[in-house]
Amino acid sequence: MWHRLSSAVAHRPPWLASQGAIALVSSLIAVAVAVREDDRSATRVAISVACTDCALVESLALDVWSEQRGPGLPLDVVVWDRDLARLADAGLSWQVLVPDIDEAARAELVRIQTRVQTAGWYDEYKDFRAISARLEELAAAHPARVSMHGIGSSLDGRPLWALRIGGTTEGATPMLVNGTQHAREWISAMVTTCVADRLVTEYDTNPAIRQFVDTTELWVVPVANPDGYQYSWSTDRYWRKNRRDGHGVDLNRNFSVAWGDAGSSTRKRSEVYRGEYAFSEPEAAALRDLALREQIALHIDFHSYGQLLLYPWGYTAKPAPDRDRFAALGDRMASAMFATHGTRYRLMSSVELYPTGGTMTDWAYGAANALSYTIELRPRGGRGFVLPPEEIEPTCDEGLAAVLALRAAYN
């Protein structure tokens, strides 16, 4: 429901109204949490086509969650509850997506720390150490089809792990799948790990997977930003960038094609800070080196959220030379994803949403000559980055369907 209020009203579900509930959450995670009179809410604001409201909304925003934003597009921002009145006074319509993002993060942490371990590895989110261990297990259990490789190191010295799957037959098509350039997008880490897992463990029982593995040399990098990802577990659930000098760099603005163009920033505290120069960050440089060394032909960069299937260009309205092919392959991917659980992913060129320079997808196509897509995973809106664990496996089904469909349609 869209709202217009004349005064600030805190939109909270009943379970958030009790200070006792907050105290219980605090005791479970053994962290002293000060109960504020004001909360940070994730709010979707309707923006005019002329974008006359953009400056006001972004001036109030503590964080901007919309990856794509521009005139006429709703803008997902984090604001103090007290500032909802200012949106209303300006005549803007808005709806609260997450009433208290900090409480949502605390509740998620409590759930993870207190959940009884089940047999299903994908029943809950995992941190970088657990994901690394899972990759190592897959490589050890299936050495004929899988190998684990370090492709570089993060700023803090964490290894950037990649699984190489298949590639045992002559003429295998080289392909790259990566996730978690943005630290807070936990579902992308789980989906990329799950895709690798399914390709390895279902080889003997699923003909489509066997065909894929036999004809493809796939590289999977589940966590391209391990420092930021761990920081989102330990300190700030909504951290986006890497950990460069504390302020961080947006890795998906650090690639050389259209580096520094619209949609990135020179301000170090900006969520879309581009870095000092293209490939200034070792994490982005490691992805570049892997893609060039392996001469990848196909590429998918997994993100969240929005349920979008995007192809180049992101930085210019000029159609990509392969626009029609992108659209045709993308349609096959979107159809395959929909067939799994009836979830729709909207297909378009990135620039149709918002001009963005320095992205990996534009670089993979423009510099590495790969057919490259960005997939914004679940949800469409709603819960934002804190997605219930029950949605991990269904979202994995959609991600795997996209990977298989792109490879099948490529021939």
What domains sit in the chain, N to C, each tagged with a CATH number?
14-112 (3.30.70.340), 119-410 (3.40.630.10)
Q: Average the pLDDT over each of 42-56, 286-300, 303-317 and give the range with the smallest value.
A: 42-56
pLDDT at residue 169, as a whole number: 86
Contact between 117 and 246 (Cβ < 8 Å): no
Residue 376 annotated as catalytic: yes
- Which residue type occupies 125? Y
Confidence class for position 36, pLDDT limits 50, 70, 90: very low
- Do the bridges between strand 63-64 and strand 146-153 make them parallel or antiparallel, or are there none, so unpaired? unpaired
Whether the pLDDT of residue 37 is over 50: the answer is: no
pLDDT confidence tier of residue 348, bands split at 50, 70 and 90:
very high
Catalytic residue among 67, 185, 283, 376: 376
Q: Mean pLDDT across the stretch 189-205?
A: 98
Contacts of 148 (CB under 8 A, 6+ apart): 135, 136, 138, 139, 161, 162, 163, 164
CA separation for the pair 377, 346 (Å, rounded):
11
Q: How confident is the model at residue 336 (pLDDT cuts 50, 70, 90)?
A: very high
pLDDT > 60? residue 409: yes
Which pLDDT score, from 0 to 100, does residue 71 have?
A: 66
Cα-trace Rg, the chain: 21
Taking 80 as the threshold, does the pLDDT of residue 335 lie above it?
yes
Please, which residues have CB within 8 angstroms of residue 132's CB and are 6 or more apart in sequence? 159, 161
Rounded Cα gap, residues 281 and 155, in angstroms: 8
The per-residue pLDDT of the chain, averaged, comes to 89
Question: Within 30-92, where are the H helices?
Answer: 54-60, 84-89
Q: What is the pLDDT of residue 193?
A: 98
Q: What is the pTM of this model?
A: 0.90
pLDDT bracket for residue 69 (50, 70, 90): low
Beta-sheet pairing, 146-153 with 75-80: unpaired
Residues 293-320 have a mean pLDDT of 96
pLDDT of residue 23: 37
> Pick the residue with more confidence: 200 or 15?
200
Predicted local distance difference test score (pLDDT) of residue 3: 59
Residue-wise pLDDT for 361-403, tens only, equals: 999 999 999 999 999 999 987 789 999 999 999 999 999 999 9
What does the pLDDT look like over 11-33, one tens digit per residue? 333 333 333 333 333 333 333 33
User: Which residue(s) pair with 273 in the sheet?
Assistant: 265
Q: What is the pLDDT of residue 27?
A: 35
Quick one: pLDDT at residue 236?
97
DSSP per-residue codes, 84-142: HHHHHHTT--EEEEES-HHHHHHHHHHHHHHPPP-S-GGGS---HHHHHHHHHHHHHH-
Higher pLDDT, 66 or 209: 209
pLDDT at 353 over 70: yes
- Greater model confidence, 259 or 15: 259
